[in-house]
Each structure stands twice: as C-alpha cells, then as structure tokens.
Chains A and B, each alone.
Chain A
Amino acid sequence: MSRQFPSDNVGIVKPQTVHFDEELTLRSGKSLNGFDLVFETYGELNSSKSNAILICHALSGDHHAAGYHSESDAKSDAKSGWWDNCIGPGKAIDTNLFFVVSLNNLGGCAGSTGPASIDPATGKYFGPDFPVVTVRDWVNSQAMLSDKLGIQKWAAVVGGSLGGMQVMRWAISYPERIEHAVCIAAAPKLSAQNIAFNEVARQSITNDANFHGGRYLDANTYPKQGLMLARMVGHITYLSDSAMGSKFGKNSTLFDPNGDKFGRDLRSGTLSFGFDVDFQVESYLQYQGERFSENFDANTYLLMTKALDYFDPAIDFDGDLSQAFEQASCKFLIMSFSTDWRFPPARSREIVEHLLKAKKDVAYLEIEADQGHDSFLLPIPRYIDGLRSYLARVFKELSSDAA
C-alpha cells in the first residue's frame, strides 16, 4: 500500500541526469572533457520561467534535498531529502510557488561526475586523477545546467554553509542571472582554524592503509577508518557544546545523582576502566562516522574540503570583498546562528559589512539557536519564518513584475 505523505512533503521524486559534451575549463587550469550532473526538481516552472530557485548543497550534501526516492525509502526519515525541513508545498521554500532545482555538484559521489566515476578516456575510475574543483567551477557548471533547463535568471539561489559560498559566487560571477541571494551560516572565506580541521580530516583519510593513493576502488576497498575519523571530527564542529550537552546529558546520574547533567551520559551505566566506549557521545560519533563512510566517497570528501579551503571571492579584487560584491546586482538575505562556531555570526557580519560597503540591498538575521552549525538544516521557528517571509516577498515581486 502506498504511504500517505504529509501535505507539505514533495513525496516521491526521481533524480534526472543531464550530460554535457562541452569541455569545462576549471579554475586550476585543468579541464573536464564532458561530464554528467544529476539533479532533482520540485514544483512547477511557470511559463515565463521566472519562478526558479536553485539550491546549493554543503560539504556532504547532494541533489536529494526533499521528498523520498521510493515508497520503501519513505518508511525511514533517514532517507528523506537533506532539506526536507525547508522545501515542500507550503514550506519556507514553497514548491506551490517556486520551481526548485537541487543538484549534486561536480566531483560529488551521488551521481554527478566525480572521482568515483569512470574516466571515459581510460575506462578506469578517476580516483585521485579527478581534477580539484572550486566553488567557482561548480557555479560555472550550475550555470550550464540553468541553460539546459532554459532558466535565464534564478528568482533566488539559496544555500547554507559551503552552499552559501556558492550563492555568493553566483551573485558576483553571474549578476544578470540571479535576483536574490540567500546565504545561510556561511563565511566569506575559511579561517585558519577551519582549514586546520579540514586538514585533520584529509590526513585521516590519506593515511588510512586502504587509501592506496586514492586508487582504493581499483583495489576493491575503501579507507573506512579514515573517512570515519574525518566525519567524526567534522561532526564535532557542526554541533555546539551546549547541543552536545543536552543531547547526551539527559540521564546522567551515575557521577552526581543530585547534580547538574554534564552531557556525559554513559552507554552502559558503568565505567569500563578500559579504552572502549564509555560515554554515549563516543558511540554516537562512531555511528555517525560509520554510516557516513559507507555512503560517501573519500576522494570526494578530499575535494569538497579543498573547495572550502580555496574559497575567497575577494581574491580577484586585491582582497577587497566589497569590490567583489560591487559586481552583484541581486538583493541579499544573510542569516547566521548564535552557537555556530564553525562559521560564527561574526563571519556573516563580515559579509554584511562588505555588502553595505558595496551599497547592496541586504537583510541580516542573527538567529538565537542552540544547535550550532547544523542549525541551518533544522526547523528553528525564527529561521524558518525569516526565510519564508523573505521568499514570499520574492514571489510577490515576481507576480507584480509579470502584471
């Protein structure tokens, strides 16, 4: 029997793949001779093709942003799209109003051409030979996808974290093709600390005995331990101290029955006095790492972290971000979350400051939220309301333009 989806869920969606024969010259100087992009769409494109919203994914995201791929997937919430909280009929990104496009970026591992794809020139996996791609390259390939879909101008380009960086790149590189930029929990470029965490992740992958210089697929294996470790480190940076405290501090009674809960729930209720898992947070991280390692390509992880490290739109303007933003002609919505320590509010304020300097239209929301960087994926009322109101206004503008 088919499942009845909630009325605000997009339901079953089918990914599509588009092939490009054109050569794409990359930022590095290397080029890709033809490639595939896999994407999903939700909602209907209007006749003037003016109601399209592009969703840009973050480090470990993909094209599957909303709904389910099959009836059997729909039995598990784990298999819903990564931004199901925001995309759907009547949701903040309202598929009754907008035609929403979400793709897997180049170099990804969910269907678009990437290191785990077969290189047509050799008949073997690209592996480590897949060229390093940057945010700029992604946006260029997204523009090619827009052409294929016949979308001359996006009503909005929306993304969180690394996705927000793509949004900024769109605004700067394609000013005539974007009406509104919605950039959530992002930064104008990484801090040294951000890069340091990425390097730990990369080292843990490349030092795994099963990495084989990136040719692990040819060796019929994969660097599971390294990928797990990379994800565990990453995951810590996505959560806040207080979010971890409340997640793993509900039942802590062993140490201090009358005291505060310190986020130190035990897994089995007793200490092992060994080096196995004692605390729930340890098993949680291991579980997250393990699940991730089974579904994500290690070379893609390396590429994504490099794209983050390299992002700096000010680089073409002698380091002056406001000059970069002067290229833009869209309006901006910037949002940050109070406990995000990966890209804290100060980083979003930097973006706002340079947008103001460039005399751009900008709205900025600093959302009080306990959940750290991950907040942008969660149904936090003030955040959702802000996004919803902003996009409702975008739609109103569309309708009045057409009238």
Chain B
Amino acid sequence: MRPDLEIIQNWITPKSRVLDLGCGDGSLLNYLKLKKNVNGIGLEINADDIQSCIAKGVNVIEQNIDEGLTNFQSNSFDTVLLAQTLQASSKPDLLIDEILRIGEHGIITFPNFGNWKSRLSLASNGRMPVSKFMPHNWYDTPNIHFCTVKDFNDLCVEKNVRILARTVVDSQHQGNWAMKAWPNFLGEIAIYHITKNS
C-alpha cells in the first residue's frame, strides 16, 4: 500500500462510514473494507477506475465532485477523504466546507507547492515547475489550485477548521525529522486530518 494511504488508514476507525472523493481504482476503500470492516462509498469519474471498483465490489458512484455534493446528507459519514484532488477542484474552499458538512472528520492530501524543489524551479528557471511528480504544463494541467502548507493552514484558520493532525512526506511518501521541522520547505505531499471547531 502507498505509504500516504498507510498514514490515512491509521486515522480511520473500524466499522465507520467513509466517503472517498476521487476514489481511483478503489484500493483504499477495498483495504478499509477488508481490514477495518469500513462501510465505504467512493466517487470517481474515470471510466477505467470505476470499472476496477466494480470488479472489486467497492461501492462507486460515477459523479463529478465539481458538480456538487448536494446528494449527500449532512453528517452522514464519519470521515470524508480527499486524496490528491484538492488542487484539481474548481472551488477548494467550498469543497472543504462540503467535506465537513457531510463528514465528522475530513482527511485531505495535496501536493505542497511550497516545497523547495518548486521554489527553486520557479526561481531559477522562471517557468512553472514541471517535474515527474507534477508532469503537466501550465495550460493542460488538471491542477488548477496549487497551494502550500502555509496557505492551507491559513485557510483552516479563516474557516475555523481544527487541524487534528498533519504530516508531510516526500514524493516516495516517506517522512523524516527534517520534514517535521520544516514541513512547508521539505514536504512534497501534505496530509491533514481535520474537523469542525466546536
């Protein structure tokens, strides 16, 4: 299992209800079902991924997150998960509202644009960074809303969202003490566990 998913699954309680926004081929939901008896629903728009979910017996709904989540009731899930999709959503701030309307907890992962490689690439080349990790050109990238760890922290404060846990890892999904100390500079992927401030 991908190490970021390994971190995520630690935050999910057995037998809880999980909504996975952009569930891909359903690997995580399938794992959570088998290992934690989790009752999961996944949203996906990629036809091949949907097909994989169906073959696995994962509950998958063909639905575009950007077209709204109004069909999901408030407080109907324990955890709503958004892995590597925030930066591709049309309205990330409203999406976070929706995540915490539908779920008690949210787990959000995104690529940290404040990472030193992005900074160096932009500073030295004067061009939008293109890497193995973020392979798209500026004009055809699905990632339209990049942010940094600091930006995300600010948004959480502004929205009165409580951060239960945060961890950053590199593109191999490994973390270390240095990343803990300078997450916005060294972390390539940020993983947040959030909830509403009561």
Residues of A within 8 A of B (CB): 333, 349, 352-353, 356-357, 359, 361-366, 382, 385-386, 389-390, 392-393, 397
Cβ contacts under 8 Å, B51 to chain A: 382, 385-386, 389
Query: How many residue-residue contacts, CB under 8 A, span A and B?
Result: 51
- Chain A nearest CB from B62 CB (Å) reads 5
| B176-187 interface bits toward A, Cβ cutoff 8 Å, 1 = contact, 0 = none | 000000000000
- Smallest CB separation, A359 vs chain B (Å): 7
Given the complex of chains A and B, what is the CA–CA distance between A353 and B63 in angstroms? 12
Q: Is the CB of B61 within 8 A of A363?
A: yes
Is the contact region of chain B dominated by helix, strand, or loop, or is it mixed?
A: mixed
The residue in chain B whose Cβ has the minimal distance to the Cβ of A394 is B57
Say yes or no: is B53 at the interface (Cβ < 8 Å to chain A).
yes
Cβ–Cβ < 8 Å partners of B58 in chain A: 363
Whether B62 contacts A356 by the Cβ 8 Å rule is no
Chain B residues with CB under 8 A of A349:
71
Tell me which of B53, B54, B76 contacts A356 (CB under 8 A).
B76
What are 26 A-B residue pairs whose CB atoms fall within 8 Å in the complex?
A353-B71, A356-B41, A356-B61, A356-B71, A356-B72, A356-B73, A357-B73, A359-B76, A362-B41, A362-B59, A363-B53, A363-B54, A363-B59, A363-B61, A364-B60, A364-B61, A364-B62, A364-B63, A365-B50, A386-B50, A386-B54, A389-B54, A392-B55, A393-B54, A393-B56, A397-B57
Residues of B at the A interface (CB closer than 8 Å) are 17, 39, 41, 47, 50-51, 53-63, 71-73, 76
In the complex, the answer to whether A390 meets B47 with C-beta atoms within 8 Å is no
Q: How far is the CA of A130 from the CA of B60 in the complex (A)?
A: 43
CB proximity of B63 to chain A, nearest CB, Å: 7
Known contacts A356-B72, A356-B76, A382-B47; decide if A362 and B54 are in contact (CB<8 Å).
no
Given the contacts A353-B71, A356-B41, A356-B72, A390 and B54 also touching, CB distance less than 8 Å = yes
B34 to chain A, nearest CB (A): 13
Give the most central of B53, B62, B72: most A CB within 10 Å: B62
Quote the shortest CB–CB distance from A155 to chain B (angstroms).
14
Contacting pair B41 A393 (CB below 8 A): no
Closest B residue to A362 by beta carbon equals: B59
